[in-house]
Every structure is written in structure tokens, then in C-alpha cells.
Amino acid sequence: MLQTLVILILLATSWACSNSSDPGPDNVIRENGQVVIVDRTGKRWDVTHAETQYGMKAEDFQFGLGPEAIRPILNPEFLLPGDPGYPDRSGQFLVIGTDLNNDPRAYPIDVLTRHEVIDEVFGNAHVAVAY
């Protein structure tokens, strides 16, 4: 069952990425041998090297949400067994788990899909948990 769920998630992710409707650049500027594209936030990206060295076309570049659009979770709070809101043992959900410095943590995938990065501290170790 879990194996089937993982395969379905991978297929859905692959389909979503290949069928992206992210818009291309709002503006392509070509002057003095330089190629710059401007995204919807107004940020300028120099893609000269991509065109001249790799044959990529500036008009084909796609943008996602833009820089800093997805906020990370800073210093997350965790629930312990018995705390209100702690998941029922019979519930089914996916997590990414880790144990660093004898400090186990579990991060729900449904939260990570919305934030992608959690800035975390394990003892004295600063860690970025990414999905």
C-alpha cells in the first residue's frame, strides 16, 4: 500500500513538473552582446552565458513563484505524544524523519510541500531540512 502511494506521488509530481504553465520572461533585453530576462517581479537575470555557450533561448526560460516566495519554517514547535493535536497512532500520513544528536524529529510531508525548507537546531547543530 505504502509503495503504491509513493509511486503515485512520484508520478503526480513528475506530471505536474512536465505540464507546468509557468510563464516565460516578461521581457528579454538584448544589447551590447548581453542577454537579460526580466521576471514578473522586475528582477533581472543575465542569461548571456546560457545562450552563447549552451544554445538555450531566453524566451524559453520559465519562472516559478519567484525568489523568496515560499517562506521557510523557522524554529518549528513539535508536539509530543499526549499533547493536544498529536496525531493518532492509527492515522496514516507521510513524514520525513531524522535523528541527530539523539534528538528524533518528524516533519509532515503535507507541511513540507507548502514550505519546502525548515530551519532547525539540533543541540548546537544548525540544519536546513529541505523537501
Residue 74 to residue 129: CA distance in whole angstroms: 11
Domain segments of the chain as ranges: 24-64, 73-130
Higher pLDDT, 8 or 112: 112
State yes or no: pLDDT of 105 exceeds 80. Answer: yes
Residues 5-45 have pLDDT tens digits of 444 444 444 444 444 455 566 689 999 999 999 887 788 88
Query: Phi, psi (5° rounding) for residue 111?
Result: -75, -40
Q: What is the DSSP string of 57-106?
A: -GGG----S-TT-SPPEES-----TTSTTPPPTT----EEEEEETTEEEE
Whether the predicted model's global pTM rises above the 0.85 cut:
no
